[in-house]
Structure 1
Amino acid sequence: MALNIRQMEILDLARATGRVGVEDLAGRFEVTLQTIRRDLGELADQGMLDRVHGGAVMRSGVSNIGYEERRRMNDEAKAAIARACAAQIPDNCSIVINLGTTTEAVARELLSHRNLTVITNNMNVANILVANESCEIMVAGGALRRSDGGLVGDLTTEFMAQFKPDYAIIGTSALDADGDLLDFDMAEVRVSRAIAGLARKTYLVTDVSKLERSAPIRIISIGDLDSVFVDKPLLSSLMQRCVEWGTRVIVAG
């Protein structure tokens, strides 16, 4: 079924922000809530969106959203999360940073830090931090994923295993309600697990929209982390589990 103009604009908004709300859309297009619900239902039926309470999100499942779309999604939230995380990173330390648009936002916030050693499998992170002349950058070997500048594979994992950094800053493609970090690419997951297992402290940076997405491969649990940096509070049940696990949750703002 062909999309009407309003549905195409709704899809563009969802791609740009990751989520659209029924009430906001009704006000934007000056139509009834019922009309918007019908539009979202038709987009969901065609596999373009996933319905969630109060709106819809970009469809997830066995394949990730494209890098450029992910980079534009929730950019203000990512910037706030990145500032909160960078504020916890001292000068004169070593950091490993993995793939993700939120970890790239953290790299931008580290440009004013001094005497950092940064190990990364993210070419975008390396290109950002090259502007910080006091930062030593070590880039992993491996297979280059042209879609997002990521380096993955056995060579990458072996490279990471040589280090014991002070901090690991990792991202995730999705976050399950029980606290599991999820991703789509097994090769990337192996690297993320290695990174998290090596560092003295491991930080997750993610916006809470990841709770509305799913991915098929488990990375680790939030319980394995030292801190989680988010833009909004997690589900109350998950916040309680973080207290039980001893994982600190820092809400940027």
Structure 2
Amino acid sequence: MKRAERLSAILDLLAESNQVEVEDIVEKLAVSPATARRDLDSLASQRLLTRTRGGATIETVAYDLPVRYNKDNQTEHKRAIAQAASELIPRGAVIGLCGGTTSTAIASVLSTRRDLMEPSNKPTLTVVTNAINIAAQLAVRPNIKIMVTGGIVNPRSYELVGPYTDIILQNVALDFAFVGVNGLDPEVGPTVSDEGEAAVNALVARRAFAAYVVADSSKIGVRSFATMNGYVFSNLITDSGITQEQISAFEERGTNVIVAPPVEVD
């Protein structure tokens, strides 16, 4: 296993229980104790964990592990949601993608669509995003035009937030917007953990002809800190884990629910 792969694997172990011991790394990654300690020291120098006697913890780190290091047990569901979202997007559309793992999955699906890769004198797709990881992911596709909003980077999610973001978004018109969330409740609506991200998400949604919350079924019934004021929540794309009772609760409040069929994940 290469060093970069080991470091990522250690952060995966850390994300599972908020702490990891040298012995765990030795056993699960088949490395020596000296290598495990050096890897922990390297991650500590990047402030991705805090070293303890015999291991490491994230309890005293001043920020959450970035989304690319979070253990994601919903990959299959998010891939299904991403595929369903992609099928709504015609060639030539202008779309908004907020940050988050589900939106990143949408970007992955779009980056492999054959019709978007065909030669063209004009963009086959225009993507407006406040997520720098999504912009970097799509920037290698020459047919896709990328617009990054500007703003201050949230290190937890790679999303740009703040007044500079708002200024840019006030001057764009989107065909579709896809908004990721941390929680989704039929009564409260979509919520996220950061108030700055909530404000940007709401504005992106309002700038679109049609806006969709994209959330795997584990987010349903969960309430996070910040609501998306000014945004009328009317479309949801989720996975087959949603129950009929939950679908009915959303539909009774005027929300159109799209249940993505399962897809295979490599």
Aligned-partner SS, 2:141: coil
Could you say if the C-alpha distance between residues 65 and 238 of structure 1 is closer, same or farther in structure 2, counting changes exceeding 3 Å? Answer: farther
Q: Matches of residues 78-97 of structure 1 in structure 2 within 5 Å? A: 78-97=78-97
Matched with 1:188 is 197
Separation in 2, partners of 1:182, 1:79:
21
What amino acid maps onto 1:170 in structure 2?
A: V
Using the TM superposition, give the Cα deviation of residue 248 of structure 1 relative to its aligned residue in structure 2, in angstroms: 2.2
What is the number of equivalent residue pairs in this alignment? 196
Q: Does 1:68 align with 2:76?
A: no
1:119 aligns with 2:128: yes
Structure 2 contact 186–253 (Cα < 8 Å) conserved: no
1:140 maps to which residue?
149
Extract unaligned runs of 5+ from structure 1: 1-10, 17-62
**Which runs of 5 or more structure 2 residues have no equivalent in the other structure?**
1-11, 18-62, 117-123, 262-266
The CA distance in 2 between the partners of 1:104 and 1:248, in whole Å, is 23
RMSD: 2.7
Which residue in the other structure is 2:106 paired with?
A: 106
Contact persistence 2:190–2:233 (CA under 8 A): no
d(CA) in 1 for partners of 2:229 and 2:247?
17
Alignment deviations for residues 188-242 of structure 1 (CA, whole Å, 9 cap, x no partner): 11101111111000011110101254312112599623x3111125354442243
d(CA) in 2 for partners of 1:66, 1:177: 28
Go from structure 1 to structure 2 and tell me whether the alpha carbon gap of 1:220 and 1:252 turns closer, same or farther (over 3 Å shift). Answer: farther
TM-score (norm. length: structure 1): 0.69
Identity %: 29
Distance 1:88 1:224 in 2: 18
Q: What is the TM-score with the length of structure 2 in the denominator?
A: 0.66
Aligned to 2:171: 162
Name the residue aligned to 2:251: 243
Note the C-alpha offset of 1:147. Answer: 3.2
Kindly state the Cα deviation for residue 15 of structure 1 after the two structures are TM-superposed: 3.2
- The list of structure 1 runs, each at least 4 consecutive aligned residues, that deviate by more than 3 angstroms after superposition, is 11-16, 63-66, 68-71, 220-223, 233-238
The reply to whether residue 229 of structure 1 matches residue 230 of structure 2 is: no
> How big is the shift at 1:167?
0.4
Matches within 5 A, 1:29-40: none
